[in-house]
Structure 1
Amino acid sequence: MSESTDHATDAAQDGVVTADAHEAAPASTQPPTPVPAADAAPAAEEPAAPVEAAPLEAAPAPSPRPTPRPTPRPTPRPAPAQAAPAADETTTAVIPDENAQTQAALAFGRVDDDGTVFVTEAAGERTVGQFPGVTPAEAISLYVRRFLDLQSKVALFEARLGTAELTAKEIDSTLAKLTDEVAEPAAVGDLDGLRTRVEALRAIAAGRRAELEAERAAAKEIALAARTAIVDAAERLAETDPSKIQWKPAGEELRILLDTWKEAQRSGPRLDRPSEEALWKRFSHARTTFDRERRHFFAELEKQNTGAKATKAGLVAEAERLASSTEWGATAGAYRDLMTEWKGAGRANRKDDDALWSRFRGAQDAFFAARDAANAETDAEYAENLIVKEVVLAEAEALLPVTDLAQAKVTLRNLQDRWESAGKVPRADVQRMEARMRAVETAVRDSEQAKWTRTNPETRARAEGMLAQLESAITGLEADLAKAEAAGNKRKVKDIETDLAARRAWLEQVVKAAEESRG
């Protein structure tokens, strides 16, 4: 029979651990350390409370092993176990209701008469500890549980390797820890198989680590692109023309970019130090440039505002001085000049600018309101003059067409004297009345010129040319009249009709003169 078979037989004769034996284990949280044989006798001087244990059939003494046994550290004697169920003296002690993993682990261990527990490995049999004063089943159960715990750890690591729970660092540390724990554990079970499983996990762990490294590298590339985009956006803001930028929205955008950067630092993938430092240096430089340009812009703006405020304050003072002037024409021109200077003075800050404009506008409105009131009063006085001039104008227009030039000239001179004596008319009627009177004067003058032309042989030839000019002028006036009527411009229509009547009268005189000269 082989050595491993002897070990398996010894383990079978020593019995199987049950849940009861587990409950009988020492209450200490640390597993009992094997007690050296030399200390067994002194420990026996303090006997534990007697327990009723089933008699065990003496296991055959194992043959001496070539491997040395480690010297265990002394430990307090464990508490006495509860009484095991009685068994027939001719049978090996077994613990029922245990799972297959426990039964399989028991096949790799055995217990000596002195409570020393051995485990069988490919390299031979190795002492894992000593648990005197208890049944073999109780002695070996602790070491079986340790093996099952190790096996559970390996199984858990196998399962977690297929998920995204573990980082590369956790994979390495867990694998190193498991390798150390299965090297020479104080446990009973298929340790060689467990080590093989751990070694097999190395290849799987390497593959998973490579996947994680690839994912990490991809995440870093994405993070690098995202943070580069943040820096690029900040640099675009810093490079914007200060005269075109809107500082408040731009400042808020830069603050959001900074918050985004900080959040990426806290929760995003870590970049390599050179890349991160280079990007932060660019970002910090962009922020510094932006802040410097903003301060410079507002300093210049404040300087301009101060100058504009002083200039506009002077304009306001002048406008308020002119507000009481009654020199309507000259002062109205002065206000136009002040408005031109105001537009060219630039802007003060909003509050000052609004206040100054309110004063400037108030002074201007006061002057023009006074002028309008004065004009309205004057127009009311001139209304009677308008009636007189309308009568004079009607008499003057009755001279056309001129049939008696000498009488027409005398009558016109009298009418002109009455016209001047009548005085001014309302402003709205000045142009209309003057145009009609000029038309009459022109017709009389043209009649006189026509008579002179008839008596002057040298100018007779020009009469026909004048006739053509008058006809052309009348045609043009008729076209202008049609346009004015289509546009609904009543005043222009009236003026054109007046001019057209004068030209037609003149034309009749020229035609008559031409006929007389030919006759």
Structure 2
Amino acid sequence: MVASNEWGRVDDDGTVYVRTAEGERVVGSWQAGAPEEGLALYTRKYDDLATEVSLLASRLESGAGNPQHTAELATQMRASLADAAVIGDLGALDKQLGELLEKTSVKKEEVAAAKAQARADAVAAKEALAAEAEQLSTSTQWKASGDRLRAIIEEWKAIKGVDRKTDDVLWKRFSSARDAFSKARGSHFAQLDKQREAAKEVKLKIVAEAEELSTSTDWGPTASKMKSLMSDWKAAGRAPRDSEDNLWGQFRAAQDKFFAARSAVFDVRDSEQLDNKKAKEQLLDSADKIDPANSLEEAKSALRDLQDKWEQIGHVPREAMRPLEDRLKKVERRVRDAEDAEWKRSAAESNPILLNMREAVTKAETALSKAEAAGNAKKIDEARQALDARREWLAEAEKSVQS
């Protein structure tokens, strides 16, 4: 009994055939059972082969498959189709494998281009790091630049795909830049050590002078000198770390000793000045009762008495001096203004010119009265004009005397 399908058959004697475009080809022999079972077995073998081809194509398409390796397998599988012991559409598999090989060629070119681009990117990245290192080689930001150069080494190691020759050239650039920076930094800190030793010598002298001044009671000049020593201290720069804190402690202790003694003395003085302030405020409160309008002489006498007591009281705190002086000046100004007004009034009353002009006004007023009594219009007008003129002259004269 014969078993067959579109792509092959199993004969009565167990011979297995596959149909191809070139005709039937014997692919095996089946003796283990019914022909249908043999046909099914050889058909499954075809399906397994077709599945392998589909998997190769899928892996290539997804990028998981290596194009070169895929091409090698596809070539081997395509060559094996002529002897494949399977029943199925071998022509379709041959076509599928041919298309797969064409795709591997395209993928190979894409992979080669990607590798070339990755190499170019890697070279560019290392060139950028080398250029950055060359810029940092002249930096004086020692810590930040040193940290960055160390970080560049780690970044350099992480960059792959640069050929050895190019990598060696770029590394030489980076290494030279790093060495130049390290040399400059070493020179800087060597010079800094010298400067700090010099600063230490200066600060030793400052400490000695401050300790000598710490017992002085010449408060003003010594305080100025202490401030000057502080400026000298800042200008000297930092001493070596193991000396700086110790020297500062000695210098500060000497300053504290002097200023503590000075403060104690000034506290006593400030207390006295506060008492003086209260005393002067009480004087000023009493000065509000001085009223030149009642009696100028009594006001002047009271002011002289206040001024004498003021001088006897003594100094007040600096911040209180101006307000107190301003209040005193108001009292003095009030008495002085009254005195000036009195003088001007007396001067005006005894001034002969004013006396004559007042007499002339009186005569003009009399003449106007007589003219008005006589009813002579012309004389009335003349008398009135004469009176107005004399009154105006008198007003100007009085104003002149009072100014």
TM-score between the two structures when normalised by the length of structure 1? 0.46
Assess, with a 3 A threshold, how the Cα gap between structure 1 residues 228 and 385 changes in structure 2: closer, same or farther.
closer
Task: Please point out which of 210, 213, 225 is paired with 2:109.
Answer: 210
Assess, with a 3 A threshold, how the Cα gap between structure 1 residues 317 and 506 changes in structure 2: closer, same or farther.
same
Task: Please point out which of 356, 359, 377 is paired with 2:247.
Answer: 356
Q: Would you say 1:98 and 2:38 are equivalent positions? A: yes
Structure 2 residues without counterparts, runs of 5 or longer: 1-7, 17-30, 352-403
Query: Following the alignment from structure 1 to structure 2, what is the Cα–Cα distance between the partners of residues 342 and 332?
Result: 15
Task: Please point out which of 215, 231, 236 is paired with 1:345.
Answer: 236
Q: Deviations over 1:417-456 (max 9, x none)?
A: x999x7x95x545x7xxxxxxxxxxxxxxxxxxxxxxxxx
Task: Please point out which of 156, 178, 192 is paired with 1:261.
Answer: 156
Letter in 1 for 2:156: W
Query: Following the alignment from structure 1 to structure 2, what is the Cα–Cα distance between the partners of residues 317 and 102?
Result: 109
Query: Following the alignment from structure 1 to structure 2, what is the Cα–Cα distance between the partners of residues 209 and 319?
Result: 84
Assess, with a 3 A threshold, how the Cα gap between structure 1 residues 189 and 390 changes in structure 2: closer, same or farther.
closer
Assess, with a 3 A threshold, how the Cα gap between structure 1 residues 171 and 307 changes in structure 2: closer, same or farther.
farther
Letter in 2 for 1:102: Y
Shift of 1:370: 0.8
Query: Following the alignment from structure 2 to structure 1, what is the Cα–Cα distance between the partners of residues 15 and 136?
Result: 78
Query: Following the alignment from structure 1 to structure 2, what is the Cα–Cα distance between the partners of residues 366 and 412?
Result: 46
Query: Following the alignment from structure 1 to structure 2, what is the Cα–Cα distance between the partners of residues 497 and 385?
Result: 15
Query: Following the alignment from structure 1 to structure 2, what is the Cα–Cα distance between the partners of residues 176 and 352?
Result: 81
Shift of 1:98: 3.4
Query: Following the alignment from structure 2 to structure 1, what is the Cα–Cα distance between the partners of residues 185 and 232?
Result: 29
Task: Please point out which of 332, 344, 362 is paired with 1:502.
Answer: 332
Assess, with a 3 A threshold, how the Cα gap between structure 1 residues 157 and 349 changes in structure 2: closer, same or farther.
same
**Partner of 1:326: helix, strand, or coil?**
coil
Shift of 1:364: 0.8
Letter in 1 for 2:105: A
Match in the other structure for 1:301:
192
- Preserved contact between residue 16 and residue 94 of structure 1 (Cα < 8 Å): no
Report which stretch shifted further, 389-398 or 151-160: 389-398
Query: Following the alignment from structure 2 to structure 1, what is the Cα–Cα distance between the partners of residues 276 and 96?
Result: 126
Corresponding pairs, count: 319
Assess, with a 3 A threshold, how the Cα gap between structure 1 residues 169 and 491 changes in structure 2: closer, same or farther.
farther
Letter in 2 for 1:371: R
Query: Following the alignment from structure 2 to structure 1, what is the Cα–Cα distance between the partners of residues 181 and 233?
Result: 33
Letter in 2 for 1:203: E
- Preserved contact between residue 168 and residue 213 of structure 1 (Cα < 8 Å): no
Assess, with a 3 A threshold, how the Cα gap between structure 1 residues 163 and 388 changes in structure 2: closer, same or farther.
closer
**Partner of 1:347: helix, strand, or coil?**
coil
Q: Deviations over 1:262-291 (max 9, x none)?
A: 2233xxxx2456664555444444433443
Assess, with a 3 A threshold, how the Cα gap between structure 1 residues 98 and 152 changes in structure 2: closer, same or farther.
farther
Q: Would you say 1:311 and 2:210 are equivalent positions? A: no
- Preserved contact between residue 202 and residue 236 of structure 2 (Cα < 8 Å): yes
- Preserved contact between residue 324 and residue 367 of structure 1 (Cα < 8 Å): yes
Letter in 1 for 2:185: R
- Preserved contact between residue 133 and residue 149 of structure 2 (Cα < 8 Å): yes
- Preserved contact between residue 313 and residue 356 of structure 1 (Cα < 8 Å): yes
- Preserved contact between residue 60 and residue 67 of structure 2 (Cα < 8 Å): no
Q: What is the aligned-residue RMSD (CA, Å)? A: 5.3
Shift of 1:148: 10
**Partner of 2:38: helix, strand, or coil?**
coil
**Structure showing the higher helix proportion among its residues:** 2
Q: How does 1:108-123 map to 2 (within 5 A)?
A: none
- Preserved contact between residue 130 and residue 173 of structure 2 (Cα < 8 Å): yes
Query: Following the alignment from structure 1 to structure 2, what is the Cα–Cα distance between the partners of residues 387 and 261?
Result: 80
Query: Following the alignment from structure 2 to structure 1, what is the Cα–Cα distance between the partners of residues 59 and 205?
Result: 83
Assess, with a 3 A threshold, how the Cα gap between structure 1 residues 97 and 328 changes in structure 2: closer, same or farther.
same
Q: Would you say 1:368 and 2:259 are equivalent positions? A: yes
Query: Following the alignment from structure 1 to structure 2, what is the Cα–Cα distance between the partners of residues 13 and 159?
Result: 40
Assess, with a 3 A threshold, how the Cα gap between structure 1 residues 317 and 167 changes in structure 2: closer, same or farther.
farther
Query: Following the alignment from structure 2 to structure 1, what is the Cα–Cα distance between the partners of residues 237 and 256?
Result: 22
Shift of 1:369: 0.9
Query: Following the alignment from structure 2 to structure 1, what is the Cα–Cα distance between the partners of residues 194 and 81?
Result: 81
Q: Would you say 1:291 and 2:182 are equivalent positions? A: yes
Assess, with a 3 A threshold, how the Cα gap between structure 1 residues 361 and 306 changes in structure 2: closer, same or farther.
same
Percentage of matched positions with identical amino acids:
31
- Preserved contact between residue 60 and residue 66 of structure 2 (Cα < 8 Å): no
Task: Please point out which of 167, 175, 192 is paired with 2:66.
Answer: 167
- Preserved contact between residue 16 and residue 95 of structure 1 (Cα < 8 Å): no
Assess, with a 3 A threshold, how the Cα gap between structure 1 residues 383 and 237 changes in structure 2: closer, same or farther.
closer
Give the structure, 1 or 2, with the largest relative contact order (CA under 8 Å, sep 6 or more). Answer: 1
- Preserved contact between residue 296 and residue 338 of structure 2 (Cα < 8 Å): no
Q: How does 1:415-494 map to 2 (within 5 A)?
A: 425=314, 428=316, 491-494=321-324
Letter in 2 for 1:331: T
Assess, with a 3 A threshold, how the Cα gap between structure 1 residues 387 and 200 changes in structure 2: closer, same or farther.
closer
